[in-house]
Structure 1
């Protein structure tokens, strides 16, 4: 694992947490919390990947980052921020 992988994990966690927290603040259901968390964590990267002409295989072959995002969103659900 090199430095860029660590930066990708940090970015994925931060954007997944951000999307999940915003969805929870809006009082969306569980599906929407996961959806918004995944959209914010992968949406910008996917758009960038498409614009630079990357292959579809690289775009969908990110199991580690997907797992990191799902764990981050689950942490947001289990430990919501106090109001």
Structure 2
């Protein structure tokens, strides 16, 4: 299983990524061992995720989400609640 996720950083910015182990990846971000963008912006909080069946699908979805505006990402997060 593959996951695409959106986290909110302590500075209020949103970061989108993909992983095969969501819990491990969130912990890595919070320990400063995740993406370069999230280093120094911890703690981060998971706001949204999707499960996908293939790496290719996860990469496509990650790319599509990254192209969204901040407001569209917030709507996506709010719609999921």
Place the TM-score, normalised by the shorter chain, in its bin: 0.3 to 0.5
Which structure carries more relative contact order (alpha carbon 8 Å, separation 6+)? 1
Q: TM-score, normalised by structure 1?
A: 0.33
Higher helix share: 1
Q: TM-score, normalised by structure 2?
A: 0.34
**Structure with max Cα Rg:** 1
